Structure 1
Amino acid sequence: MNNRRKTLPPIDPKIDPKLRAVLEALKEIQETGEGVRGDPMDRKLTIRDLVDAGLARLRPGSMTEFGPVNDDPIDNDPPGSTLIPPRPTGFNAIGSFGYIVLSWDIPGDLYLNHAFTNIYRSETDNFANAKVIGRDTGMMYTDHIREVEEEGVGFYYWITFTSTEDREGPPNNTSGTYAEVIPDLGFLLDRLSGEIDESVLAKSLNGRIDKIEVLETGIKTETEIRESADLAMARRIDNVSAAANGNASAIQTEQTVRADADAALAQQITTVQSQLGGNIASVEQSMTTNIERLNGELVKLGAEYTLKLDVNGYVSGFGAYNDGKTSDFAIAADRFWVAPPNSTGKRKPFIIQNNKVYIDTAMIRNASIQEGQLGPISFGKITDRNGSPVTTVAGKLKGELIEADNLRVAEAATFYGDVYSNNYWSGVSGWAIRQNGSAEFNNVTVRGTLYAEDIEGDVNDVAQVNWQGDKRVSSYKSLIHQQSIYISYSNKQGKCPYFMLTLRCFEERSDSTIGVTVQIEQNGRVLAEQYTAAQFGGNGGVAIAGGADNRIKGTVVFKVFADAYFANTMHVYQVSGLIGALA
């Protein structure tokens, strides 16, 4: 067992400063090489380290020479750990839009030779049926499940650890951790768009309006009636048209009704159309009801209304369709807006244009937003280069580098390396907190109790004074305020108490004088006393400072007195400043 000393004794603070700087540097170099301070990667390698690690062996009869013995090769691979990795902890699963995010506690906190984490998934809560869907070396995994068409689809998950010796440990739990995926909105929009394109209403709205053949100016009505044992049909076409110089306009209304043993149809189509040269503008209003039966079963049932506008083949409009189970209302337009009457010159509250929806003000009780932006802050987009989110369950953030002007940690933070300020220079500026427990600061203020086995250098005690009230000052010393402070040890010696105070006063006369006395007492004995006086009219202030030359320890009381030339005409309403002790 190696019990050799790795640290040097503290350097005497009374030594010459120039020599002390050299000794401090040598001490730092020595202890850094031993690995007791600084970066552990800077520790020096010894022959003992090589032998203990199985990387080398000493030659027989020698305590300094090492290498192969009798030309046998050295086993450069140290013996691997035969321990089974522990059970993972802190496992969580949460569903999001098109994926489920899994996270767990840092494996390195549980064991040292971690290689990767295995992720298992099953549709049932049975680990025997689970399959490995991925592996990850970190503490988070994203299971992408995009093609989910409805809510309520979920899976059970487990994880296990595998060591660098390829040993797999137990699952995190016998029961799986269940999470449901939220359907990916992009996937749902693509699927719904495909269904809409194949719907009856979409085909009706997308179809062009037939051209009306106008040959002459006039008003014409055509009728047709057919009736038999199995069929009844009636049709009427009313046409009002005008034609001149190859241009034409027409209004046509076509009404059709038909009924037989298995079908009933009623339809009315009104078309308004203008033609000028090669340009045609049309408006068509269509109302249709249709019911059909085949072999005694209902195969078609629907009511449809459309209003279409067709200008040179560019068709827009709106329509509604109802089949008794599902109703559709559709608008085909480049821009759609809603506004109250007489809103000219005012902002429209709702606009759809260029595939974007603009809403001036909205009140939403419940919303699911896959991606978005609130002012300059975007959310739902914090992903790595592969598209996987770097945010984990419970709001944890994972990244190789995080830069922030201000960083607030609500509960606790764990660091897995040394922490430095950006201006750290050993012995000169900045600060450092190292993994071996050592730290370096230039200045430290401790508002509480400091415990230490040994303190080198001087330590000062200080307390703030901030009394407020209203005390009337008599002609003799009136006690205004008193406050105590505990003076700690400094290099096994006491300290010198001091004070720096200001009294704020106002007087009822304009020519009064106030005297201020500060006493420093310990155990009823006055150690020092300081007096000053000031004359003013109205409001004013008196500053006083002083201290004791002798070094003391323990509790000390600072008492502030005041007296006035004219009794009961002076008021003190504040005492502020500092009291303390200098090493």
Structure 2
Amino acid sequence: MADEVACSVIGQCGVGGWGGPQPGDPDGTILLSASVVYGGIRLRWTLPAINPEAVAHVEIHRGVTTDFQQSMRLDTGSGGSYFDQVEVVTPTTFFYWVRVISIHGTIGALVGPASATAVPVAIQTIEHLSGLIDQGLLAQSLREPIERIALNYTELTSKIAERVAGDAALSAALALVQQGLQESVAFIHQEIVSRTNGQEAIITQLNTLAAVNGDSAAAIFEERSARVAADEAQAQQMLSLNAALSNVGAIVNVDRNASVSRDNALASQIATVQSTLGTEVASVRNTMETRIDQTNGRINAIWNVQVDVNGNIGGFGLMGTGRTIEAGFDVDKFWIGRAGKVRPFIIQDGVVYMDTVRIRDLTIGTQKLAPNSVTSTGVSVGGAYDLIYNTAVNLINASTDLGTSLPGGHVVVLQASIELTHDKFSSGESSTSLALSVIQLVRVANNAVLKTQYHSGTGARENIIINAADTAPTSGYNLYELRITNQSDYFFNTIHIHDSMLVVQGAKR
């Protein structure tokens, strides 16, 4: 966001410590604006309408509230703009004031505040969001280890024995196999248990289908239950398919649950498949869960798929609350595309690879540029500027981020085009007066002028091209401006800008 404020109290904005302005001091008709740009905030101000040539410099103050008393003196500026490089972790609004100091030492009145909200640069945003994601329920659920549930031969036959312990004949037959006195046994066993007590009632059905010999075992266990009580109800089903041979095991396990109370509702299904061989374990788990908990004010739905191979855990998931929907992948490599074709999007080891990309709005923290690979373009449409002598206007900005300089450094190539019309004469000026403008390409950070080109106005519509090369750009973010200054013989000069463009292209030398 940005706003614009003016000081127009004539006779007060140039008052110094001795109680009054000096002859020739500037007046206080100043317009101040603040706007957010990558890496900071751009301030712009107009020079006073009266005696602008008497401005020595502009004093700049910054605060985080609208109270000037809580602000700090930031810097001094000249011309009509200032770049405030700020680093923030979350969007932060800053407030700015300026005041003119004249060549006579007169201190003008404050102008402001103008405000803009700075946003974090890419790396700060990524680090901040990563921390928030890691603290979230979805990310934590994707990192949960999958417990070992597959059984070896000894463990599986023991569990079968527990399930049929109430059946003397099946227990005896299984014991004969385990003792080597019988080669194998196969059976189906079912047990139903029910109980009621006032409002509470529960019924459970246990089904066991098993086959066992001296070396291997296979079993299907199923448990189904329904329970009701005062203000509660629950239905549950657990199904487990097991196979084991010596120290090798495999299992498919599905656990379904639906339960309600007056203030809570839960529905879940967790399916796990797992294979084990000695100490080696490979697992996949698919979790679906919905929960409404009015006691704690919680409502969410979650679905995730995890893999866990000897403790190397990852997966993907989707979670929704009453406010947001979040999707995440906790993986080392992620890709999109059809088989047999170039994958247009790949993430591997924290690096994103993209084939052909069209982006509407792009912010870049660090670039490593191939020669002639990146172009930044600023485009501005028309406007009329009434410029007094030696006053400049910034027509347009464009930028590039070179990141950490590669060996040999970088060069930034700039090209600007301006379509304009000069008013050759001004009212009251001599017909011999010359309409002259100075057009400059400037690196904003240190106000370094890269190219100056003079242009004499003819009164006709003209197209002007200006080129420059910045052979000493800084590492990281570089902002450039296209400026035009009135250097006419007469005081006022009207310049009509019909169209302007600034192209910034960074490349390794």
TM-score (ref. length: structure 2)? 0.51
Match of 1:367 in 2: 362
The answer as to 2:350 corresponding to 1:355 is yes
Match of 1:156 in 2: 96
- When residues 263 and 150 of structure 1 are mapped into structure 2, their CA distance, relative to the original with a 3 A threshold, is same
Three-state SS of the structure 2 residue aligned to 1:146 is coil
Match of 1:267 in 2: 268
The answer as to 2:110 corresponding to 1:169 is no
The structure richer in strand per residue is 2
Three-state SS of the structure 1 residue aligned to 2:401 is coil
Q: Is the 8 A contact 2:25 2:54 kept in 1?
A: yes
- When residues 219 and 158 of structure 1 are mapped into structure 2, their CA distance, relative to the original with a 3 A threshold, is same
Q: Is the 8 A contact 1:157 1:178 kept in 2?
A: no
Answer with 1 or 2: which has the greater Rg: 1
Match of 1:514 in 2: none
Report matched runs for 1:136-155 at 5 Å. 136=76, 141-147=82-88, 149-150=90-91, 153-155=93-95
Separation of aligned partners in 2, 1:360 and 1:211 = 41
Q: Percent identity?
A: 27
Match of 2:334 in 1: 336
Counterpart amino acid of residue 135 in structure 1:
D
Counterpart amino acid of residue 359 in structure 2:
I
Match of 2:38 among 97, 121, 126: 97
Match of 2:401 among 381, 404, 407: 381
Separation of aligned partners in 2, 1:120 and 1:375 = 40
Counterpart amino acid of residue 293 in structure 1:
Q
After TM superposition, give the deviation of residue 265 of structure 1 in Å: 1.1
After TM superposition, give the deviation of residue 270 of structure 1 in Å: 0.8
Match of 1:209 in 2: 146
Separation of aligned partners in 2, 1:384 and 1:94 = 26
Separation of aligned partners in 1, 2:132 and 2:245 = 45
Q: Deviations over 1:86-140 (max 9, x none)?
A: 579897644223421346799xx9469x6x75212356778x6573332247666
Report matched runs for 1:53-202 at 5 Å. 93-102=34-43, 110=53, 117-121=58-62, 131-136=71-76, 141-147=82-88, 149-150=90-91, 153-161=93-101, 167=105, 169-171=107-109, 174-202=111-139
How many residues get paired? 309
Match of 1:397 in 2: 443
Separation of aligned partners in 1, 2:345 and 2:331 = 14
After TM superposition, give the deviation of residue 267 of structure 1 in Å: 0.9
Q: Deviations over 1:385-442 (max 9, x none)?
A: 9xxxx99xx96325779798xx574769xxxxxxxxxxxxxxxxxxxxxxxxxxxxxx
Match of 2:18 in 1: none
Report matched runs for 1:416-427 at 5 Å. none
After TM superposition, give the deviation of residue 184 of structure 1 in Å: 3.0
Separation of aligned partners in 2, 1:285 and 1:261 = 28
Counterpart amino acid of residue 442 in structure 2:
K
After TM superposition, give the deviation of residue 199 of structure 1 in Å: 1.7
Match of 2:281 in 1: 280
Higher relative contact order (CA 8 A, sep 6+): 2
Q: Is the 8 A contact 2:319 2:325 kept in 1?
A: yes
Separation of aligned partners in 2, 1:212 and 1:155 = 61
After TM superposition, give the deviation of residue 324 of structure 1 in Å: 2.8
Match of 2:248 in 1: 247
Q: Deviations over 1:247-268 (max 9, x none)?
A: 2111111111211222111111
Superposed CA RMSD in Å reads 4.2
Counterpart amino acid of residue 160 in structure 1:
V
Q: Deviations over 1:428-459 (max 9, x none)?
A: xxxxxxxxxxxxxxxxxxxxxxxxxxxxxxxx
Separation of aligned partners in 2, 1:375 and 1:85 = 52
- When residues 133 and 353 of structure 1 are mapped into structure 2, their CA distance, relative to the original with a 3 A threshold, is farther
Three-state SS of the structure 1 residue aligned to 2:87 is coil
Match of 2:305 in 1: 307
After TM superposition, give the deviation of residue 181 of structure 1 in Å: 2.7
Separation of aligned partners in 1, 2:273 and 2:403 = 55
Match of 2:317 in 1: 319
User: Which moves more between the two structures, 198-207 or 366-375?
Assistant: 366-375
Q: Is the 8 A contact 1:87 1:161 kept in 2?
A: no
Counterpart amino acid of residue 223 in structure 2:
E
Separation of aligned partners in 2, 1:264 and 1:400 = 63
- When residues 84 and 269 of structure 1 are mapped into structure 2, their CA distance, relative to the original with a 3 A threshold, is farther
Three-state SS of the structure 2 residue aligned to 1:316 is strand
TM-score (ref. length: structure 1)? 0.45
- When residues 131 and 138 of structure 1 are mapped into structure 2, their CA distance, relative to the original with a 3 A threshold, is same
Q: Deviations over 1:293-342 (max 9, x none)?
A: 22xxx7121211111011111111111111232111111111111002xx
- When residues 355 and 189 of structure 1 are mapped into structure 2, their CA distance, relative to the original with a 3 A threshold, is same
Counterpart amino acid of residue 146 in structure 2:
I
Separation of aligned partners in 2, 1:263 and 1:383 = 52
Counterpart amino acid of residue 236 in structure 1:
Q
- When residues 211 and 323 of structure 1 are mapped into structure 2, their CA distance, relative to the original with a 3 A threshold, is same
User: Which moves more between the two structures, 312-321 or 116-125?
Assistant: 116-125
Q: Is the 8 A contact 2:368 2:402 kept in 1?
A: no
- When residues 158 and 138 of structure 1 are mapped into structure 2, their CA distance, relative to the original with a 3 A threshold, is closer
Q: Is the 8 A contact 1:212 1:250 kept in 2?
A: yes
Match of 2:474 in 1: none
Separation of aligned partners in 2, 1:284 and 1:160 = 68
After TM superposition, give the deviation of residue 226 of structure 1 in Å: 2.7
Q: Is the 8 A contact 2:235 2:257 kept in 1?
A: yes
Q: Deviations over 1:451-479 (max 9, x none)?
A: xxxxxxxxxxxxxxxxxxxxxxxxxxxxx
Separation of aligned partners in 2, 1:209 and 1:347 = 35
User: Which moves more between the two structures, 254-263 or 306-315?
Assistant: 254-263
5+ long unaligned stretches in structure 1 = 1-81, 413-583
Counterpart amino acid of residue 315 in structure 1:
I
After TM superposition, give the deviation of residue 245 of structure 1 in Å: 2.7
- When residues 359 and 238 of structure 1 are mapped into structure 2, their CA distance, relative to the original with a 3 A threshold, is same
Separation of aligned partners in 2, 1:275 and 1:155 = 63
- When residues 92 and 289 of structure 1 are mapped into structure 2, their CA distance, relative to the original with a 3 A threshold, is closer
- When residues 328 and 395 of structure 1 are mapped into structure 2, their CA distance, relative to the original with a 3 A threshold, is farther
